[in-house]
Amino acid sequence: MSTSVTSKVGDSRKILTELPGPKSRALHERRKAVVSSGLTQGFPVYIERGDGAILLDVDGNQLLDLGSGIAVTSIGHAVSDLIDAVSEQVAAFTHTCFMVTPYEAYIEVCEALAELTPGTHEKTSALFNSGSEAVENAVKIARLATGRAAIVVLDHAYHGRTNLTLALTAKNMPYKDRFGPFAPEIYRVPTSYPFRDGLSGPEAARRAIDEIESQVGAHNVAAVLVEPIQGEGGFIVPALGFLPALAEWSKANGALFIADEIQSGFCRTGDWFAVDHEGVIPDLVTTAKGLAGGMPLAAVTGRAEIMNAVHEGGLGGTYGGNPVAAVAALATIKTMRDKNLAARARELGSTMLSALTELQRDTLIIGDVRGRGAMVAIELIEPGTTNPNAAAANAIVNYCRSQGVVAISAGTYGNVVRLLPPLVITDAQLSDGLSVLADAVRSVK
């Protein structure tokens, strides 16, 4: 089937109006009357169409996307295989509810997840709509399977915005403030943050484990839940050895090790999953974001004996594993394989890291350059200190936006600028984006 969507989007950044342009500004005014002001305003250019790494806005500006809608459109915008798969599925049927009358695409997604997630053991999956929902279900499953209550999470963690996942998330503003009370039996321990703690991976793991043992009690722990590279918390890459030590401790103490790969998974870090880098095999893995090319889909995948410990009917939801989202995931995974996007992520990562490391030498405000694959960030500091410099991060993001480059910030202290380009970004597009970012950094006084 050939798609009726013929792209009118160019392949490079082109700015025709001031940003946001007049049509975007008018939409933004309209929004104010009917959209809750509780949602982040972000970069209010209203998007009409996308292609690869370029977004076309309602004023005809072509923007360079270095955020992928927060690591979602890793295969790029308007991928013809995904358009075809979704269009055919919409024409066939859009919903039955998998728990009422099932369909094959759900099984195929679970087969792919069993094959791609780390480890060769038997695995089963359950599909959901959002990352938060997947994390909630991973916690439910871990508690049921172990008969224990305590969930251990890390400083700087982000696991979602529902009530349970807010309890798991670390940062107060804007996520948690005044939204409590939060769920009990969640324990937070120090993470590995090499730029700020200077500890080796095993040392940081020892510090975390000491707290678990003394403050929670090993025998109470249902699961240790970690982001293998922390996303919203500031692209914090733990020192080597930290994750394997926590996974080994979990195994030795009858606790499950859960990897939240919602942001770091699906080729983003140069492997299918970020834990692959150190050969860590989690008991449960949560996925979402990059999994379905922009359609809402999430999953919990894990050891069959754990996943299947749940009684029939204990897991589910009306839309989870919706057929349109499921075929989108299959097209996304096929695209990742066909184009070897894991390898492309590694190439993009080495280009970004070397450009940013060079930039760091020219300025006093970049304290750290870090990341793996196409999940890379700079942490901004006040010159001569390690004090967080959120004002610099904001100024850099705003400068990029003024030039039509979609960049996003992150970090517990709001002082990180993160790069998550679509993995299909071309070399020319990436170098354009990096040169705007360099100008942005140099423009900060």
Ligand X SMILES: *Cc1c(COP(=O)(O)O)cnc(C)c1O
Q: Which stretch binds ligand X (CB under 6 A): 109-117, 130-138, 196-204, 399-407?
A: 130-138
Half-sphere exposure of 144 (CA within 13 A, CB side): 16
Site string for ligand X, 182-221 (x = CB under 6 A): ----------------------------------------
Among 66, 245, 288, 376, binds ligand X (CB under 6 A): 288
Binding mask 348-387 for ligand X (x = CB under 6 A): ----------------------------------------
| Least distance between ligand X and beta carbon 272 (Å) | 16
What does the DSSP 8-state code read for residue 199?
-
In this complex, which beta carbon is closest to ligand X, that of residue 14 or of residue 175?
175
With respect to ligand X, which residue has the nearer C-beta, 227 or 379? 227
Decide if 429 contacts 11 (C-beta within 8 A): yes
The verdict on 159 binding ligand X (CB under 6 A) reads: yes
**Does residue 323 belong to the site contacting ligand X (CB under 6 A)?**
no
User: Residue 142: what residue type?
Assistant: A
Closest by CA position to 21, among listed 69, 60, 68, 55: 60
Whether the Cβ atoms of residue 419 and residue 407 lie closer than 8 Å to each other: yes
Nearer to ligand X, 288 or 374 (CB): 288
For residue 17, count CB atoms less than 10 angstroms from its CB and return exposed for 0-12, middle for 13-18, buried for 19 or more: middle
3-state secondary structure 95-156: CCCCCCCCCHHHHHHHHHHHHHCCCCCCEEEEEECCHHHHHHHHHHHHHHHHCCCEEEEECC
160 is an interface residue for ligand X by CB under 6 A: yes
The pattern of x and - marking residues 251 through 270 that bind ligand X according to CB under 6 A reads ---------x-xx-------
Which H or E run contains 257? strand 256-260
Nearer to ligand X, 236 or 440 (CB): 236
CB environment 382-415: b (16+ within 10 A), e (fewer): eeeeeebbeebbbbbbebbbebbbbbbbbbbbbb
Distance CA 157, CA 225 (A): 9
The one among 130, 192, 332, 389 contacting ligand X by CB under 6 A: 130
Q: Which is nearer to ligand X, 290 or 367 (CB)?
A: 290
Sole window of 43-51, 154-162, 326-334, 418-426 interacting with ligand X (rule: CB under 6 A):
154-162
By residue count, the chain amounts to: 445
User: Any contact of residue 229 with ligand X (CB under 6 A)?
Assistant: no
Stretch that binds ligand X, among 101-109, 129-137, 207-215, 395-403 (CB under 6 A): 129-137
Establish if 131 lies at the interface with ligand X (CB under 6 A).
yes
In the complex, the residues that contact ligand X under the rule CB under 6 A are 130-132, 135, 158-160, 227, 231, 260, 262-263, 288-289
